[in-house]
């Protein structure tokens, strides 16, 4: 049993209306923190008012980027029950990522106790309404103040909560993406397969440039500039007439929880989902021959986001006339209905708040 000390805020904030949320703009009243020190183990598990945390300016996270995070969602279902979507998936991915980042992963019971207790305290922050959720951000950082380049002997585990609406704004319209050929997100043997903050740092400049040109995300290619990796902060699926393809996890792609859920859903419907290498040449041919019916991105934040347009080498390729396709519509409905409780959870993805 994990002992958590709780200090409640004396100044609870006002919950913004669902229509104003956007993504990641607001934070709940409290946060969860726990500390690991080599030789001493985990201690100081606490829930306290959300706010700044004191840090040594020499902390490893500031200088050498020792940081790893997760993204998960909590919902209030139609019967009032608060649930999490696949928290074990996030725990295991964090544990594997921590190993790569030389951070200490919290034990399972610490992770789950912190998660359940924090959401219990802040459950009024779970927004109601279509396309809304309480986004949960567990994070691990190296906090030891030491400038030699070696793993931090101290890890801070934090969980913060953000009530969110849809990731790409109102309307959930299909997005346009920019195929990136100057920058790459991650190389084989690097950090691409873990949810390291560093991957997102590498993505900021190309994503910002794409945004300035009117593209919501970039399409990341492999080091060979042909193999497709991910679409911005999402995994990607291509729906061809005879098969549905998502890039195989090759060591530089992040294995998303929604990606995995979509693969399970497609398999359960006996649809021909294949995880394999897929190239730009193939996608280009698919658009030209009209063999490519739909493309969509998947992620915890975005859920399913259809790709209506793809810029590649001076061409603006249009996919499914820039509209939501049948498969993306069905999958979106199914996954959000399992989350809201409108459909039974045959895959065991839902965990009720204790």
For residue 299, state whether it binds ligand COI (rule: CB under 6 A).
yes
Work out how close the CB of 197 gets to ligand COI at its nearest, in angstroms, rounded to a whole number.
10
The H or E element spanning position 17 is: none
With CB under 6 A, what is the number of residues at the site for ligand COI? 5
Q: Taking contact as CB under 6 A, which single stretch among the options 5-13, 203-211, 263-271, 294-302 is the one that binds ligand COI?
A: 294-302
| Rounded-to-integer distance, Cα 46 and Cα 66, Å | 22
Q: Are 222 and 229 in contact (CB under 8 A)?
A: yes
Q: What is the CA radius of gyration of the chain?
A: 21
Q: Which two tokens stand for residue 232?
A: 């911005």
Out of 300, 305, 328, 351, name the contact with ligand COI by CB under 6 A. Answer: 300
Residue 138 found at the interface with ligand COI (CB under 6 A): no
Nearest in space to 233 (alpha carbons), one of 74, 71, 96, 86: 71
71 binds ligand COI (CB under 6 A): yes
Q: Which stretch, 49-57, 60-68, 223-231, 297-305, contacts ligand COI (CB under 6 A)?
A: 297-305
Q: Name which of 71 and 165 has its Cβ closer to ligand COI.
A: 71
Stretch that binds ligand COI, among 143-151, 261-269, 298-306, 310-318 (CB under 6 A): 298-306
CA distances from 300 to 65, 70, 260 (A): 23, 10, 11
Q: Which is nearer to ligand COI, 94 or 280 (CB)?
A: 94
- Which residue lies nearest ligand COI, judged by its C-beta? 71
Contacting residues for 139 by C-beta, under 8 A, at least 6 apart: 67, 68, 69, 70, 157, 158, 159, 160
Identity of the residue, 252 or 300, whose beta carbon is nearer to ligand COI in the bound complex? 300
301: contact with ligand COI by CB under 6 A:
yes
How far from each other are the two terminal CA atoms of the chain, in whole angstroms? 14
Minimal distance, residue 71 CB to ligand COI, in Å: 2
Got the DSSP string for 96-164? Answer: HHHHHHT-PPPPHHHHHHHHHHHHHHTGGGS--STT-EEEEEEEEEE--B--SSS--SEEEEEEEEEEE
Does 74 sit near ligand COI (CB under 6 A)? no
Q: Please pick, from the candidates 233, 252, 305, 351, the single residue that binds ligand COI as defined by CB under 6 A.
A: 233
Q: Which is nearer to ligand COI, 300 or 320 (CB)?
A: 300
Contact residues for ligand COI, defined by CB under 6 A: 71, 233, 299-301
């Amino acid at each position: 049993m994990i002992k958590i000390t709780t200090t409640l805020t004396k100044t609870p904030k006002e919950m913004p209306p669902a229509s104003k949320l956007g993504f990641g703009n607001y934070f709940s009243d409290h946060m969860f923190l726990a500390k690991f020190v080599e030789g001493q183990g985990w201690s100081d598990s606490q829930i306290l008012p959300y706010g700044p945390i004191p840090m040594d300016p020499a902390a490893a996270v500031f200088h050498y980027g020792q940081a790893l995070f997760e993204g998960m969602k909590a919902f209030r279902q139609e019967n009032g029950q608060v649930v999490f979507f696949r928290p074990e998936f996030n725990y295991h991915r964090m544990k594997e990522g921590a190993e790569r980042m030389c951070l200490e992963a919290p034990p399972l019971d610490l992770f789950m106790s912190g998660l359940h207790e924090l959401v219990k305290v802040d459950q009024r922050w779970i927004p109601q309404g279509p396309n809304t959720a309480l986004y949960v951000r567990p994070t691990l950082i190296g906090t030891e103040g030491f400038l030699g380049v070696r793993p931090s002997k101290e890890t801070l585990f934090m969980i913060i909560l953000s009530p969110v609406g849809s990731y790409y704004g109102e309307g959930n319209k299909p997005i346009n993406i920019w195929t990136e050929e100057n920058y790459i997100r991650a190389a084989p043997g690097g950090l691409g397969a873990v949810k390291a903050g560093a991957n997102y740092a590498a993505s900021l400049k190309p994503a910002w440039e794409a945004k300035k040109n009117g593209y919501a995300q970039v399409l990341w290619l492999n080091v060979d500039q042909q193999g497709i990796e991910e679409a911005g902060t999402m995994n990607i699926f291509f729906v061809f007439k005879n098969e549905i393809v998502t890039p195989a996890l090759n060591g530089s792609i992040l294995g998303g929880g929604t990606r995995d859920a979509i693969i399970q859903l497609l398999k359960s419907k006996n649809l021909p989902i294949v995880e394999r290498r897929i190239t730009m040449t193939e996608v280009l041919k698919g658009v030209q021959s009209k063999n490519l019916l739909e493309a969509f991105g998947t992620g915890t934040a975005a859920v399913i986001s259809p790709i209506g347009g793809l810029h590649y080498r001076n061409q603006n390729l249009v996919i499914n006339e820039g509209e939501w396709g049948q498969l993306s519509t069905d999958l979106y409905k199914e996954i959000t209905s399992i989350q809201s409780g409108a459909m039974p959870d045959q895959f065991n993805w839902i965990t009720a708040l204790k």
